[in-house]
């Protein structure tokens, strides 16, 4: 029985792949299958720029359609009053939307309020994590979010290198080969992320963007696989180093989620401020357009396009700017949230 059990165990181990190669799909990390233009638009681009480009696109589309359709926009102005209908509705939308955004800001701030006991528990839990991080990294935990994440990434790379040195010359050649590839994989993940985190300023998206590139979940799976496949060949020091490597990778998950949550709160508060700033000129422009603009007030044409169409299109674009700000910020937040659904070592490959 013992011999057959050993044979079955050896057969199962032979069926487990020794190493997961870092293919193209894995190297893409949290970017998924998105193309570079899509990633730029959804994640990396400045949100004000995205809102501005979107608003300009609305203006161009309005002018193009209004100039091309028949009967023309000018003809409709003479026979009816589309401006009143359009901008009367836009004033209602801007006021309602601004109220909604203020409500969102209040909900974000509500999360920061609470009785003294709850605040003390939050502080105590945070200090416990900082102490654990200090024990793991060998130095006091950084207070800057980017530096804090960078310390964990560098610690994982250092532990992987120490593990490689520990198994060097092992009698188990497959163990040495697997650890060598594991170490290379950790370093390939850690080095670009560490470079991007160096000097990154919280409040911008750069910290969260860099953190998304570290594939800690997949690396944890590789560490577990090495521990399982080569359990009989590992020394006590090897197991200790594997445990420390797994610990640093495991801590990166909740640390990234905490920094991501703080960024979401920061971004939503910033969004509320920007929409409130944009709502005032949007209301003024909508009101002035509603009151004074018609075909007689804006005669003539520019480059074959009636001036009244350009004026009304520009006014319409200004009034939708608060909405475009909302879209640009929420697109980034939802994209990040979708691509970081699993904090545990599960690699999601959806779009």
Q: Provide DSSP, 90-116.
A: HHHHHHHHHHHHHHHHHHHHHTT---H
Mean pLDDT on 213-218: 90
Whether the predicted pLDDT of 30 surpasses 50: no
Whole-number percent of the chain with pLDDT over 70: 86
The answer to whether 136 and 244 have CB atoms below 8 angstroms apart is yes
Minimal CA–CA distance to 309: which of 290, 295, 291? 295
Give me the sign of the Cα torsion angle 89, 95, 99, 100.
Answer: positive
Task: Note the pLDDT tens digit of each residue in 87-105.
Answer: 888 999 899 888 887 777 7
d(CA 146, CA 134): 16
Task: Note the pLDDT tens digit of each residue in 229-286.
Answer: 888 888 889 899 999 999 999 999 999 999 998 899 889 889 988 999 999 999 999 9
Instruction: Tell me the backbone φ, ψ of residue 306, rounded to 5 degrees.
Output: -60, 135
**Three-class secondary structure of residue 302 per DSSP:** strand
Per-residue confidence (pLDDT) for residue 15, from 0 to 100: 39
Per-residue confidence (pLDDT) for residue 256, from 0 to 100: 92
Task: Note the pLDDT tens digit of each residue in 224-245.
Answer: 999 988 888 888 898 999 999 9
The residues, ordered by sequence, that sit 6+ positions from 160 with a Cβ below 8 Å of its Cβ are: 182, 183, 186, 187, 245
Instruction: Tell me the backbone φ, ψ of residue 301, rounded to 5 degrees.
Output: -145, 160
Mean pLDDT on 197-205: 85
CA contacts within 13 A on the Cβ side of 280: 4
Which of the four pLDDT bands, split at 50, 70 and 90, describes residue 174? confident
The residues, ordered by sequence, that sit 6+ positions from 164 with a Cβ below 8 Å of its Cβ are: 179, 180, 183
Whole-number percent of the chain with pLDDT over 90: 39
Per-residue confidence (pLDDT) for residue 351, from 0 to 100: 43
- Antiparallel, parallel or unpaired: β 301-302 and 305-306: antiparallel
Terminal CA-to-CA distance of the chain, rounded, Å? 49
Minimum mean pLDDT range among 98-102, 135-139, 326-330: 98-102
**Three-class secondary structure of residue 306 per DSSP:** strand
Pairwise pLDDT comparison (129 vs 69), residue with the higher score:
129
């Amino acid at each position: 029985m013992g011999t057959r059990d050993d044979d079955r165990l050896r057969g199962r181990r032979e069926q487990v792949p020794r190493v997961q190669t870092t293919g193209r799909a894995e190297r893409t990390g949290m970017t998924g299958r998105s193309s570079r233009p899509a990633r730029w638009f959804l994640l990396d681009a400045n949100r004000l720029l995205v809102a501005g480009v979107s608003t300009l696109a609305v203006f161009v589309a309005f002018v193009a359609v209004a100039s091309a359709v028949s009967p023309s926009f000018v003809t409709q102005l003479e026979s009816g009053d589309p401006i009143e209908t359009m901008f009367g509705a836009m004033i209602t939308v801007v006021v309602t939307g601004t109220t909604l955004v203020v409500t969102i800001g209040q909900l974000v701030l509500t999360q920061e309020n609470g009785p003294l006991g709850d605040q003390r528990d939050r502080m105590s839990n945070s200090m416990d994590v900082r102490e654990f991080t200090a024990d793991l990294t060998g130095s006091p935990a950084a207070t800057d979010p980017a530096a804090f994440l960078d310390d964990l990434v560098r610690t994982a790379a250092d532990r992987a290198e120490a593990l490689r040195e520990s198994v060097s010359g092992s009698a188990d050649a497959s163990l040495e080969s697997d650890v060598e590839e594991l170490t290379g994989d950790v370093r390939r993940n850690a080095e670009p992320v560490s470079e991007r985190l160096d000097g990154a300023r919280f409040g911008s998206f750069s910290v969260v963007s860099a953190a998304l590139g570290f594939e800690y979940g997949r690396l944890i799976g590789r560490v577990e696989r090495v521990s399982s496949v080569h359990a009989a060949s590992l020394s006590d020091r090897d197991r200790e180093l594997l445990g420390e490597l797994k610990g640093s990778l495991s801590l990166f998950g909740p640390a990234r989620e905490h920094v991501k949550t703080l960024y979401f709160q920061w971004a939503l508060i910033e969004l509320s401020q920007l929409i409130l700033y944009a709502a005032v000129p949007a209301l003024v422009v909508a009101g002035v357009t509603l009151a004074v603009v018609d075909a007689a007030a804006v005669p003539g044409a520019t480059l074959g396009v009636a001036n009244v169409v350009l004026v009304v299109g520009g006014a319409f674009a200004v009034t939708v700017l608060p909405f475009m700000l909302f879209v640009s910020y929420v697109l980034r937040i939802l994209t990040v949230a979708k691509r970081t659904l699993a904090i545990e070592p599960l690699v999601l490959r959806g779009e």
